[in-house]
Amino acid sequence: MRYAIGVEYDGGGFRGWQRLTQPGVDDEATVQGVLETALSSVADARIETVCAGRTDAGVHAQCQVAHFDSTASRDLRAWTLGATTRLPPSVSVTWCRPVAADFSARFSAIARRYRYRILNRQVRPALARQWLSWHWRPLDAAAMHRAAQALVGEHDFGAFRSSECEASHGRRDLQRVAVSRDGDVVTIEVQANAFLHHMVRNIVGSLLEVGAGAQRETWMAELLAGRDRRLAGPTAPATGLVFVGPLYAAGHGLPAEVTAA
């Protein structure tokens, strides 16, 4: 039987989602490692997971989706509560659904969503500091939003691609990007069919240059056309970035939070 699960986690204490295989690194270092250990304990057999989108060290997830196969006779409550009781406090399995054998958390996803939040004031945050990035220079969120619209559509995002990116090409379909302000917090929301390594954080780093007045609004379009990572802004910190979750077609029968309208 194949199952899909929703996983919520604080990535601050982990070296990212992906289980590491190099010598001297144990399963406690990654979200996938602790999750598979917990699920394997529930199943009393080895469980391996595939996720919708691998997150980097320090990046959080509101609803990561993963799938796994198991022949163990367990009800859905056992997979959720049983696994969660075996996980560290920073990770929870929030739901579990049986899915078709050809469902893939990665390849069945039609979109992925991220949110980046910035505390924009002169003093660094004390409360909620693990969820917020910090930028002391005043930011023009409206200018950032206007500049970001140049990125919407299918493009080669080479200007916002990490040198460590292993993707075969840089073309992605960025379906939505929005920048807004609520008091001292500036929020950047992005949705795409898929993302390149550090793509969101590199876009944010460049938008911060526009918001602070160091670059023109047209600069984002120029960077996109130039496809030169060396000319773009710095990579924004992982703190403040949350993987909101993927989206799937309604036919998979998953919860509303990960089902496309």
Burial track 178-216 (b if 16+ CB lie within 10 A, e otherwise): ebebeeebbebbbbbebbbbbbbbbbbbbbbbbbbeebe
CB 185 within 8 A of CB 121: no
How far apart CA 166 and CA 216 sit, in angstroms, is 31
How far apart are the two ends of the chain, measured CA to CA in Å? Answer: 27
Say which amino acid occupies 75: D
- The active-site residue out of 27, 56, 156, 228 is 56
- Indicate the pairing of strand 133-134 with strand 111-119: parallel
Q: Which of 149, 168, 184, 4 is nearest to 76 (CA)?
A: 4
Burial bucket for residue 167 (CB in 10 Å: 0-12, 13-18, 19+): middle
CB 104 within 8 A of CB 60: no
Say which amino acid occupies 103: F
CA-CA distances (angstroms) from residue 204 to 6, 75, 200? 26, 42, 6
How far apart CA 47 and CA 74 sit, in angstroms, is 13
Q: Which residue do the tokens 């993963």 mark? A: 66
Question: Is residue 56 annotated as a catalytic residue, yes or no?
Answer: yes
Say which amino acid occupies 171: R
**Mind telling me the catalytic residues?**
56
